[in-house]
Structure 1
Amino acid sequence: MPYYRSVGRVPHKRHVQFRKPDGGLYREELMGTEGFSSDSALLYHTHAPTDVVDVGTWDIPGQETTPNHPLKPRLVRTRKLDEGGDAVNGRRLLAANQDVRVSYVAADRPSPLYRNAMGDEMYFVQSGTARVETVFGVLDVGPRDFVIMPTSTTHRWVPTGDKPVRLLITESTGGIHPPKRYLSARGQFLEHSPYCERDLRAPAEPYVVEGDNVDVYVRHRAGGTRYTYAHHPFDVVGWDGHLYPYAFNMDDYEPIIGRIHQPPPTFQTFEGPGFVICSFVPHKVEYHPDAVIVPYNHANVDSDELMYYVEAAGGSRGGHGIDEGAITWHPAGFIHGPHTNELERSVEAYNAGKVDIKRLTAVMIDTFRPLELGEGALAVENPDYLATWRNA
């Protein structure tokens, strides 16, 4: 994270005695990245965070993938995966490569305590509300929130509404951060950034829970492990540092527009090792007198593109089945752009002055290595999507 926070009670110096009201010592935990040479946080526990009383295997189903061969575009309708479950065990794998795994779940019940020891996770809330309980405190989240969960942060998801919370989940093998070009050398958001520190929400106070013999499910490179801790991990009375979970709502993303169509990097929101995440939000149309307001045909020669539609696509794309929750998957090697009749219709509407705002609301994940299909995508793929490119 680009700036420092301090929450709850912490001592005046790092790594010094910090005593409880009864005179005993709090247990200090340093969560550090890149071998303790990058961002970190110091947490102060009532009990030792190392007190494990049992270890077992956690079997994670549905992790196999299938190559995208023969190479073709895909249309995945995630709403057909709305079968319930929790945000940890209920997620269905859509796509994966060596750098990233993308999953979906419509969670209708609390998850177990969980942490990912492989990398950061990004949760995008398409609909519903939830309380995200973490070792750092609580985040209340709702529609269009991004939640960035740092590596090895113990947390759980608790749906809070009468409807499921629909989550698009990106599991990284490293950190997920704002793009470097948005930040100063010291980590402050710069003036040209489409969002800034004021738009980010982090836990504001400690969240302490009593409990004994508490299970935590851990995802790691060899699979899954269940740890049973003597005391509840949520016993932190204070923490400080630059590493913590936070939320950012895509409605606070300020789009950058131009006289002609702007390329996807203009909408970049986060980046991770081997991938980027973009936010497409409603914005003014281009204003060149001869503007073409839909994307030109393009070939992502070294990227697979997943476009998750937060709202149903309008115009001709809506007629091709790209409804709310749909994902279009355009792999490297496939040239794509306007769908059938979309180019002519958009130009006619622009010339007639009928279009003022582009209404697209979507999250895009571009990866720099090929993605393979997960079992979730294969279960709800529309096999007719390739035909929508005929005579475009």
Structure 2
Amino acid sequence: MSGGSEQARKTAEGLEYLTGFGNEHSSEAVPGALPIGRNSPQRSPLGLYAEQLSGSAFTEPRSHNRRSWLYRIRPSAAHPRFTLAADNGALRSAPFTEAPADPNRLRWNPLPDPAPGTDFLAGLWTLGGNGDATQRSGMAIHLYSANASMTDRAFSDSDGELLIVPERGGLLLRTEFGLLSARPGEMALIPRGVRFRVELQDETARGYVCENYGRPFELPDLGPIGANGLAAARDFRAPVASYEDAERPTEVLNKFCGNLWTATYDHSPLDVVAWHGTHVPYVYDLRSFNVLGSISYDHPDPSIFTVLTSPSDTAGLAGVDFVVFAPRWLVGEDTFRPPYFHRNVMSEYMGLIDGAYDAKAEGFVPGGGSLHNMMSAHGPDRETFDRASAAELKPQKIDDGLAFMFETRWPITATAQAAGADHLQGGYDDVWQGLERHFRA
């Protein structure tokens, strides 16, 4: 049976969320499950076990410290031995050494439909990444395509946090903290080490995943922008406590140092009755992003669209940024409206959730993605350039598409399966052919 079933139903419908990003939250599925005034009392209420889940070192600064107290039916320590899983499927992990890092511009069509009975975990397909999961630096880019819910099994990632961006089909994420519903146009984040199960809300599901090995994502500083703008902390939603009290075999898979390890519990590990802390899953509606831009002239850098950032040891140079190109007005004068031609020290993977992207006329479709590694020249294709150069500069609303970008300080090395995939577009470079010479001395 499941506890807190009415709360679970409301949470799955998007109701009764806690709000705020990076703040101390608390929730209980049964009144009185949370202890008053003590994190780990001699006897926790209702016969529960107190357990701390730390997503950061104990001694990290308070503003960066991530930890939560869980009050659960059985402690996590009560589990059998983990063994190496027989097969990682299409899931890969850093360091990425299967193929050399490629400076060429690459673009993929969406993942092919999977075989019947493929769940979220089995449907994960790694495109590439950088860094080293064992050193907690860098990131990986995965895609997923699924047509079945996870049943009697749960997953956790010891290597990093998972930022999930649905493109097709809704996901119901049953986590240790409760339930989160994420549909296309939203993103969900599962912190490092948190166990969860993915159930489909539609017949099929497809989307993108950024696995962040480095420091947890946080809201970027606003600097001269001031107090308001970009993503608002109040729009991030944490789950209401909802637990499973299930005494049946459950497979628990753990991604550890790049490999999947498996153990079969005799109970569900999603048995947290109450919790409080800052190491918490959350969902964010990308269309609630407060877009800022020029109201005079010129074209701001895409960094103005940063939703979340994973800082590195160099100020302003992120391990990975999550950027969204949400609906917005363009009003600047005397400027080239689409993203301009540029080369960048950062490496960019871009995906499309819905509609069309204003810098590409064709070939970039929902579910697909493009990779522009550091210093690779890119920008609008020829058709977009010609159209934008002659367009009347009047106020323009861009609301027919929703795109995003994973941007990282290190080159993204594609996996062998991505470099040789049938859905890798062979003629991507052709979109820049025909850009004529207009210079006259």
TM-score above 0.5, yes or no: yes
CA contact (8 A) 2:359 2:381 kept: yes
Quick one: which amino acid aligns to residue 236 of structure 2?
L
Q: Among 332, 354, 377, which residue is 1:335 paired with?
A: 377
Quick one: which amino acid aligns to residue 235 of structure 1?
D
Alpha-carbon separation, structure 2, partners of 1:326 and 1:31: 36
Report the equivalent of 1:80: 112
TM superposition shift of 1:348: 2.0
Quick one: which amino acid aligns to residue 429 of structure 2?
L
Report the equivalent of 1:233: 269
Report the equivalent of 1:282: 327
CA contact (8 A) 1:121 1:148 kept: yes
Cα distance 1:106–1:61, how it changes in 2: closer, same or farther (>3 A)? closer
TM superposition shift of 1:177: 1.8
Alpha-carbon separation, structure 2, partners of 1:384 and 1:373: 18
Report the equivalent of 1:378: 420
Q: Could you give the per-residue CA deviations for residues 87-127 of structure 1, whole angstroms, max 9, x where no partner exists?
A: 11211111211111111112211233000001111000112
Identity of aligned residues (%): 20
TM superposition shift of 1:313: 2.7
Q: Could you give the per-residue CA deviations for residues 296-339 of structure 1, whole angstroms, max 9, x where no partner exists?
A: 21111x221111012243567233x1122221211112111221
CA contact (8 A) 1:81 1:376 kept: no
Return 5+ residue gaps in structure 1 as ranges: 184-188
The count of corresponding residues between Structure 1 and Structure 2 is 378
Report the equivalent of 2:182: 141
Report the equivalent of 1:186: none
TM superposition shift of 1:238: 0.5
CA contact (8 A) 1:105 1:167 kept: yes
Cα distance 1:218–1:123, how it changes in 2: closer, same or farther (>3 A)? same
Report the equivalent of 1:131: 172
Give matches, 1:104-119, under 5 Å: 104-111=143-150, 112-119=153-160
Report the equivalent of 1:17: 42
TM superposition shift of 1:73: 0.3
Alpha-carbon separation, structure 1, partners of 2:219 and 2:268: 35
TM superposition shift of 1:190: 6.9
Cα distance 1:376–1:157, how it changes in 2: closer, same or farther (>3 A)? farther
Report the equivalent of 2:26: 6
1:304 aligns with 2:347: yes
Moved more, 335-344 or 122-131: 335-344
TM superposition shift of 1:231: 2.7
TM superposition shift of 1:48: 2.4
CA contact (8 A) 2:357 2:402 kept: no
Alpha-carbon separation, structure 2, partners of 1:376 and 1:72: 14
SS in 2 for 1:88: coil
Give matches, 1:23-42, under 5 Å: 25-37=47-59, 38-42=65-69
CA contact (8 A) 2:218 2:308 kept: yes
TM superposition shift of 1:151: 0.4
SS in 2 for 1:131: strand
Q: Among 286, 291, 294, which residue is 2:335 paired with?
A: 291
Moved more, 148-157 or 198-207: 198-207
CA contact (8 A) 2:107 2:371 kept: yes
Quick one: which amino acid aligns to residue 121 of structure 2?
V
Quick one: which amino acid aligns to residue 244 of structure 1?
V
Alpha-carbon separation, structure 1, partners of 2:253 and 2:407: 29
TM superposition shift of 1:137: 0.5
Quick one: which amino acid aligns to residue 28 of structure 1?
A
Q: Among 200, 205, 208, which residue is 1:165 paired with?
A: 205
Quick one: which amino acid aligns to residue 165 of structure 2?
F
Alpha-carbon separation, structure 2, partners of 1:86 and 1:159: 9
TM-score in terms of structure 2 length: 0.80
TM superposition shift of 1:213: 3.6
Report the equivalent of 2:406: 365
Q: Among 148, 153, 163, which residue is 2:194 paired with?
A: 153
Report the equivalent of 1:100: 139
TM superposition shift of 1:173: 0.9
Return 5+ residue gaps in structure 2 as ranges: 1-20, 60-64, 132-137, 313-318, 436-441
CA contact (8 A) 1:51 1:231 kept: no
Alpha-carbon separation, structure 2, partners of 1:314 and 1:131: 28
Give matches, 1:342-357, under 5 Å: 342-351=384-393, 353=394, 355-357=396-398
Give matches, 1:166-315, under 5 Å: 166-182=206-222, 191-258=227-294, 259=296, 260-272=298-310, 274-288=319-333, 290-300=334-344, 302-313=345-356
Alpha-carbon separation, structure 2, partners of 1:292 and 1:79: 33
TM superposition shift of 1:180: 3.6
Alpha-carbon separation, structure 2, partners of 1:39 and 1:92: 29
